Each structure stands twice: as C-alpha cells, then as structure tokens.
Amino acid sequence: MVKGLNIFILLVVALFIGGCTPEADSPQQAKHSVETQVSLPAMPLLHIQPAIYDLGDIKEGEAAIATFIIRNNNDEPIEIVDVQAACGCTAAEPDSYLIPSGSFTQLKVAVDTTAKQQDIKKTVHITDSLGNKAVATLKFNVVDNPHANKVMQSKGIFEGNCASCHFEPLKSVSKGADIYALGCAMCHGVDATGAYAPALLGHTDAEGLSAIIAHGVGKPQMPGFAQENGGPLNPEQMHALVRWLMELPAEKDAKD
C-alpha cells in the first residue's frame, strides 16, 4: 500500500514539473535578447543596391551600363535633389526623382569607354531632400576592341563627353602641378609613379619629354596636349608642366 502511494506521488510531481512553463525569460535571457536586437545594423535611410556593381570586361568604345536600385527607408516621401557623376563621361539618371516612403526607383548609369583602358571605377553621388546621401559605384575593365571602326579609334580624351574633364579644365590653370593633376594624374598616377600609363619620374631629357606631351604617342589615350595639335595647352603651360616634371625626384628617391 505504501509502495503504491509513493509511486502515485512521484507521478503527480512529474506531471506538475513537466507542465510548468516559465511565463517570462530569465534576466540573463532578456538581457541577451535586448543586446542582440541593439547590435543589428540599421538600414541606411537612402540606400543604393548594390553599392558596387562590377561589369567585368568591357570592350573599348562600348558603353558600360548598369542599373542600381535607390531605396527610400525614411518614414516620409523624399525627392532626389542632386545626382553628381564622377566625370563628364558618366551619365546617371533615376527613373523617378520622387520616391514614396518604403519604395524605390531605378538609377541607370552609363559610362563612355572611349580612350579608356584597364580597370576603371566611376561613382555617382545621390542626395535627397532630407539631406541623406548615398554613393553608387560602377567598376569595369576596359579591354582592346579588335572590331572598333576607324572613327572610334580616332577619338581621344579631348573629344565627346571626355572633353569636359580632360580638355576644358586645363585651359584655366597655369601651374605645372595643377596642369598635371587635371590632365595627367588619372593615367600616370597622382604622384607620377605610374598607373594605367608609365611613370614620369627621373626624366633627364626635357626636350624629349616636351615633344611627347606636345605631340602624343599616336593613341587616343595619349593625344598631343599642345594647342598646335588640337590639345588645350599653350606654350607657357607646356613649359610649366615640363619644368615641374623635371623637378620631380628620381623613382628610387621618391619611395624613401
């Protein structure tokens, strides 16, 4: 009888324990839950997807085109008030400048690849009516185009959309360093140590260097910069640029 009663009591206790469910998390569990929620990254109020669009290889002369998504994560509608492309060869236009709260629009970006070579990165900066900013980045690698026609091959950085960056600004500067920054750095590197084009350090032949800059090398990427050859630089600017380049240290000294 006593043995049966003990078994009955054990069964009742087991059922009671198994049926109990805590009504709330323990303080430690609650703290962990709050910390997990707080650590989640907040979505940007003005969000561009993808942030970086890589098109891979593009043949020279063919347009590099990509479509981004601009999302409005604000609690109110916004208007896109400013679209700034990195340079004149890049065109960017949203489908709509007005974006309702929680909605999106498309941003089409197209880059003229004429006279470009190797790895290229172009950015588009977007600003909305609430002051939020976002950046879309388009990357691609320009390769030779064996099927390019003669008209395209004759175009250079001083023609078409490229002229707004590589021709017009050079007309208004006179110092060698400024001329280099505007007209040479994009290919020869900001410190003249080379990039898409060879380094310009350590030159000892001013006359030879002047001739190359004035007349070019017969490629669209490096046309003649002298006015007599259709370029933007007058004789005084040419002299200032060559003199500045000749004063640069040799490559071995520049790295010290």
pTM of the full structure: 0.59
Q: What integer pLDDT is reported at residue 4 of this predicted model?
A: 54
pLDDT tens sequence across 132-156: 999 999 999 988 877 665 544 555 6
**Mean pLDDT over each residue of the chain, to the nearest integer:** 80
Q: Is the pLDDT of residue 73 over 60?
A: yes
Q: Which structural domains are found in the chain, ordered by start?
A: 46-143 (2.60.40.10), 156-248 (1.10.760.10)
pLDDT tens sequence across 223-232: 888 889 888 8
Maximum average pLDDT range among 1-15, 40-54, 66-80: 66-80
Report the share of the chain in percent with pLDDT over 90: 36
Q: What integer pLDDT is reported at residue 132 of this predicted model?
A: 96
Query: What single-letter amino acid sits at 229?
Result: N
Q: What integer pLDDT is reported at residue 189 of this predicted model?
A: 81
How large is the average pLDDT for residues 200-209? 88
